[in-house]
Chain A
Amino acid sequence: MTKSSSSAREAMEDEFLAFAAGRSGQLYRSAYFLTGGDGHLAEDLVQETLGRMYAHWHRTTRPGRSGQIADPAAYAQTVLVRQFLSHQRRRSNRERPAAVLPDRTGHEVDASLRITLTEALAQLPAKDRAVLVLRYWEDRSVEETATVLRANAGAVRTRSVRALARLRVLLGDSLAELAVR
C-alpha cells in the first residue's frame, strides 16, 4: 500500500466509524420495533446493517457516479428493513409463538408502553410490522415505504390499513391510555 492510499483509507474508515456511532442508536430503535422487542435480534440487525454499509461505504464518496449513495442515513434505514425481512423469510419457522398480552392496568411507568407496543407488534406478521415502523415510526410516505419494501404503493396502503386494524384489536384501549399520559 502506498502511504497516500492508506491514509485515504483511514480517513474513509474514520468517516464510517463516525457515521456508525452517530446512526446506530436510531437504527437500533427501528430494529427494536421491527423485531417486536427482540433486543438481541435487533442488535444483530444493526450490526449486519452497519457491516453492509461498511462494504458499500466507498459508494458514498463518488458524487454523480452511478450507484452513488447520496444519503447514507436513509440508505442504512432501508438496508435495515430489508435485512429484517430477508431474515424473517429465512427464519420463518423460528417466529416466537404469539404471547398472551399481559393485563395492563393502564397506569404504569413508561416501560409498560414499550412492552405493550412491542408485544403487540411481535404478534403481527413481519411485513405488517415493517409497514407500521416505516410509516409511523420513521414517518415515511406510502411511496417511500413502497420503495423500501420493493412493493407498489397500493399494496403498502392496503397492508397498512389492515396492520393498523390488527394492532388496534391487539392493543385495545391501552395504547391511547399509555400514549397520552
Chain B
Amino acid sequence: MDVKKKKILNGYHVVFLVQNIMVGMGLLSMNNSLSPVGYSQWWFPILFGLIANITLIPMIWLALQYKDDDLFDIHEKLLGKFIGKTLNSFLILYSIVLFAAVIQNYLDLIQVAALPQRSITGHLILFIVLTVFIIKGGIKSLARFCIVTFFLTGWMVYFLRWGFVDGEIRHLLPLFNFTASEFWDATKKGFNTLVGYELIMFYFPYIRHPEKAFKHASIGIWITIFFYLAVGIVGVMYFTEWQLEHLLFPVLKLFQAVDLSFVERIDTFGITIWVFLILTTAGAYLWTAKKGIDSVRNKNSQYHIYVTAILTFIIINLPVSQAMRTTLYENTFYVSYGLILWPILLCLVHLVRRKVKR
C-alpha cells in the first residue's frame, strides 16, 4: 500500500500542506502586528508573499541536491556528524517550543473568548491527544487533514463581506505613509504570519514530484496571501488606526460585524472552528520534532511522538511567569526567521564543499 512507499505526497498535498501550516494564530492578529505602518499595511501580505517566494528558492534548490534527505540529514552531511546532530537537537527543541507556543496562544485565546470559566488543562490534553492521533498517520495523514481543513475554514472568508460593506474604502490610500523604522517594525512583527512554509525542507523527501515542488509550494503560499490580503484590506477599511493598534485580535471583531438572523455572535463559532487551522500548524511542528528525534537517535519510533507530546504538556504547565513565557515564544518566532534564511548559508557550504571535492 501507499504507506510502505516513501514518496507519498502528491502535488495537491504539497499545496495544502504549505498553505495550512502557514495559516494559524498569526492571521487572527495580523492587522494588529502590522499596525506600526497604519493604514498602509494592507498591501504588506503581497510583499511578504514575494519574500516568502524568494526565500523558497534556496530551500528547494538545496533540497533538490539531496533528493532523499530532509534538513536533518542535510545538516549531518554538510556540517559533519557532530555539528549536525547538535544543530538538529536545537531544531528539535525549536519545534517543540513552537508546538507549545501555537497551542498555548490558541488555548489562551479560547479561554478568554469562548470558555471563560474553565482552566485550559482539560482541552489542552484533548488537543494534544488529537494532534498525536493525526501525526500517528504520518505526514500524509496531516496532508489529508490539511485538505479537509481548507474546505472547512476557507469559506469563512465570506464573513468579511459585512466588514467590507461597512468599511471605508478611502482608508486604502496612501500606500507609503510610513518611515523606515516603522516599516522594519511591522515587517519584523508581521512576517510571523508567514512562518510555516519553511517546513517543506523537512517533508521534501516525501514529495512524489520534487521538481514540481516549487510550483506547488508557491501556489500554496499565494493562496494564503489571498486570504491575508482579503483580511488586510477589510481590516484597514473597517477599523480606525487607533483600533488597529490596540485590538489584539481584529479578525474576531470583524466576525462580530457579521449580521445574520439566526446566529448572533459568529466570532465564538469562528474562533472554535479555527481549531482546525491550529491543529494543522501544531501537527506540523510535532511531526518535525518527531522526525528530528528519529534522525538524532537513528531510529524510527512512534514513541517519539508521545515523548514530544508529554514534553510539550510539561512546557505549557511549567510554573513560569507569563512575561517570560511570552518572551520565549516571541524569540522562538524570530528563530524561525533565521531558519528561513538558513538554507542560503547551507547552499554556500554546499557549493564550497563541491568545489573542494573537485
A interacts with B: no
Residues of A at the B interface (CB closer than 8 Å) are none
Residues of B at the A interface (CB closer than 8 Å) are none
